Amino acid sequence: MLAKVNSCAVIGLDGEVVEVEVDISQGLPAFSIVGLPDTAVQEAKERVRSAVRNSGHEFPLRRITVNLAPADLRKEGPAYDLPIAVGILAASGQVPAQGDAAVFLGELSLDGKLRHTNGILPMVGLARDRGFQAVYVPADDAGEAALIDGIQVVPVSDLVQLGSHLRDAQPIAPFVSTERQPAAEPTSEGLVDFCHIRGQEHVKRALEVAAAGGHNVLMTGPPGAGKTLLARAMPAILPPMTPPEALDVTKIYSVAGLLPQDTPLVQQRPFRAPHHTISHAGLVGGGRHPRPGEITLSHRGVLFLDELPEFPHSVLESIRQPMEDGVVTVSRAQGTVTFPASFMLVAAMNPCPCGFYGDPGKQCTCSATAVTRYQHRISGPLLDRIDIYVEVPRVEYEKLADEVVAEPSADVRSRVEASRERQRLRFSESNLVCNAEMGPVEVREFCQRHLEDEAKSLLRMAMNQLNLSARAFHRVLKLARTISDLGGSDAIGSAELAEALQYRQRGGS
């Protein structure tokens, strides 16, 4: 007898319908899976056999052939266990034939229980888009599946329960999500709060400007000055994610297998801090079955590259294109996959190998050539994509010992949110999100036109004296736009422009 069951695959971040056909025919007992399955799918045979037996069903001692269609799509991972098991039960008449209304997803363990499976969110999204009415998922993943509206989610804990459900003996109640509405306030648990960081007021201000306009930042300073600490405080001053953004990020974490069990929806903006020994594929994504890299895991959030010059040149070069495009394309054996990668870069570095070049209190022991070589490890084109350079000096004892509590991150965040709101209104006609994304046309319309006279003459002077390039000219204007937005003003005055110029102090290009 032949049975057909629908299931899904994930390619990159997108789902794809896979039809599982099970044929049971006369002949010596055999079990084969065809249709480009990888090793994890081949191993499904052993899991399905034990799971079927251990859940009180009979495993047919006949010739079983499983075909996964379309045949040209490489099938990966263990999510096909459940549809294969259901197909065997249907083909052997132990449960009724499954129509075309439902999709089955999930990995089985040997005792017939369903286990957490990666990529549930994109697969359920696809099932809904293709008009399926119900989706059977592991009970552990029901919360994640229920983030998709318009499709019934049936939580399955094991094959025994599913068997009686399909025979209509004891139906499983569809999953009803209890926490549909995302919490308005993101939790600040585990995040560094600005109020615990002493001094460094100008760095905090620079980070606030960066967060407001989505600008990339590079912090330079001696070891122990607090660069890492300041970077870690960044997520708490960023505005909360919108529901579509949260869903996008959750999809990425679901496919990468990084979704925590008790949080079906990621609501905290990502903060990723990969070590400088990271591989190329680890950072940009890739592998035989392409997986999202760190730049995709920081989509809509912060990518923090600490000790920037220590990263291999080739690795740093590979993030240039994604920084421009907001997406990364990874090649694989069959074509390419595209992952989203729209992140804010926060980088930190010491000014020289010993770390004390330019420090007023401690002598730098590096030779002049060593300092230059160190600073030149980061290529010009990458530096060009950084809007804000900020020095992080050592904090004086008085400030560290001070009992005064600094401004909490929540206050900074509300200013950032207000300025983002101004940007949202400004860009409501286009698909830009923040000032950093403006192109030359928008710079002319939204920045140059709003310059006050005094600011214009200051800009002319700076262009001549600092020898600024055309690119630097645009960056300064975009930064000035963000600073004015933070102040709640449309016009760009000389004070805002002067602050923007000051963030361009390094390299001058």
Ligand X SMILES: Nc1ncnc2c1ncn2[C@@H]1O[C@H](COP(=O)(O)OP(=O)(O)O)[C@@H](O)[C@H]1O
* Contact residues for ligand X, defined by CB under 6 A: 197-200, 221, 223-229, 395
Residue 256's binding partner out of ligand X, Mg ion, none, with CB under 5 to 8 Å set by partner kind: none
Residue 225's binding partner out of Mg ion, ligand X, none, with CB under 5 to 8 Å set by partner kind: ligand X
Asked whether the CA dihedral 247, 249, 255, 259 is positive or negative, the reply is negative
Residue 226's binding partner out of Mg ion, ligand X, none, with CB under 5 to 8 Å set by partner kind: ligand X
> Rounded CA gap, 93 and 91, in Å?
5
Our CB check for ligand X shows the closer of 221 and 301 to be 221
Quick one: which of 109, 228, 338, 494 contacts Mg ion (CB under 5 A)? 228
Our CB check for Mg ion shows the closer of 164 and 228 to be 228
Spatial contact of 168 and 208, defined as CB atoms under 8 Å apart: no
> Rounded CA gap, 12 and 338, in Å?
7
Residue 493 sits at φ, ψ, to 5 deg, of -95, 180
* Residue number with the smallest Cβ distance to Mg ion: 228
Residue 60's binding partner out of Mg ion, ligand X, none, with CB under 5 to 8 Å set by partner kind: none
Shortest approach of ligand X to residue 452 CB, angstroms?
Answer: 35
Our CB check for Mg ion shows the closer of 68 and 352 to be 352
Shortest approach of ligand X to residue 395 CB, angstroms?
Answer: 4
Shortest approach of ligand X to residue 217 CB, angstroms?
Answer: 14
Choose the binding region for Mg ion from 12-20, 228-236, 389-397, 493-501 (rule: CB under 5 A). Answer: 228-236
> Amino acid identity of 506?
R
DSSP 8-state assignment for residue 278: -
Residue 293's binding partner out of ligand X, Mg ion, none, with CB under 5 to 8 Å set by partner kind: none
Our CB check for ligand X shows the closer of 80 and 356 to be 356
Our CB check for Mg ion shows the closer of 275 and 288 to be 275
Choose the binding region for Mg ion from 161-169, 226-234, 236-244, 325-333 (rule: CB under 5 A). Answer: 226-234
Cross-strand partners of 389? 218
Shortest approach of ligand X to residue 412 CB, angstroms?
Answer: 15
Could you tell me how many residues of this chain bind Mg ion (CB under 5 A)? 1
> Rounded CA gap, 232 and 225, in Å?
14
Shortest approach of ligand X to residue 445 CB, angstroms?
Answer: 39
Where residue 168 falls (left for φ over 0; alpha for ψ -120 to 50; beta otherwise) is left
> Amino acid identity of 314?
S
CA–centroid distance for 304 within its chain: 13
Choose the binding region for Mg ion from 60-68, 110-118, 122-130, 225-233 (rule: CB under 5 A). Answer: 225-233
Our CB check for Mg ion shows the closer of 157 and 228 to be 228
Shortest approach of Mg ion to residue 372 CB, angstroms?
Answer: 22
Residue 17's binding partner out of ligand X, Mg ion, none, with CB under 5 to 8 Å set by partner kind: none
Per CB under 5 A, does 273 bind Mg ion? no
User: And the tokens for 284?
Assistant: 């940009």
Choose the binding region for Mg ion from 222-230, 318-326, 359-367, 489-497 (rule: CB under 5 A). Answer: 222-230
Residue 395's binding partner out of Mg ion, ligand X, none, with CB under 5 to 8 Å set by partner kind: ligand X
52-91: contacts with Mg ion (CB under 5 A): none
> Rounded CA gap, 34 and 72, in Å?
11
> Rounded CA gap, 262 and 350, in Å?
39
Shortest approach of Mg ion to residue 270 CB, angstroms?
Answer: 20
Our CB check for ligand X shows the closer of 192 and 295 to be 192
Our CB check for ligand X shows the closer of 161 and 200 to be 200
> Amino acid identity of 433?
V
Shortest approach of ligand X to residue 218 CB, angstroms?
Answer: 13
> Rounded CA gap, 328 and 318, in Å?
9
> Rounded CA gap, 390 and 1, in Å?
71
DSSP string across 117-147: -TTHHHHHHHHHHTT-SEEEEEGGGHHHHTT
SS3 of 301, please? coil
> Rounded CA gap, 426 and 430, in Å?
9
Our CB check for Mg ion shows the closer of 65 and 228 to be 228
User: And the tokens for 32?
Assistant: 């084969």
Residue located via tokens 């990966």? 76
> Rounded CA gap, 309 and 480, in Å?
28
* Residue number with the smallest Cβ distance to ligand X: 226
Give the start-end residues of each E strand in 12-167.
Answer: 14-25, 30-34, 63-69, 102-104, 107-108, 114-115, 134-138, 152-156
Our CB check for ligand X shows the closer of 198 and 422 to be 198
Our CB check for Mg ion shows the closer of 82 and 225 to be 225
Shortest approach of ligand X to residue 306 CB, angstroms?
Answer: 7
> Is it true that the peptide bond before 70 is cis, omega within 30 degrees of 0?
yes
Shortest approach of Mg ion to residue 189 CB, angstroms?
Answer: 22
Residue 467 sits at φ, ψ, to 5 deg, of 55, 50
Shortest approach of ligand X to residue 351 CB, angstroms?
Answer: 11
Shortest approach of ligand X to residue 133 CB, angstroms?
Answer: 53
> Rounded CA gap, 134 and 156, in Å?
12
Spatial contact of 82 and 136, defined as CB atoms under 8 Å apart: yes
A 10 A CB-CB count for 105 gives 28
Our CB check for ligand X shows the closer of 330 and 406 to be 406
Q: Would you tell me which residues interact with Mg ion (CB under 5 A)?
A: 228
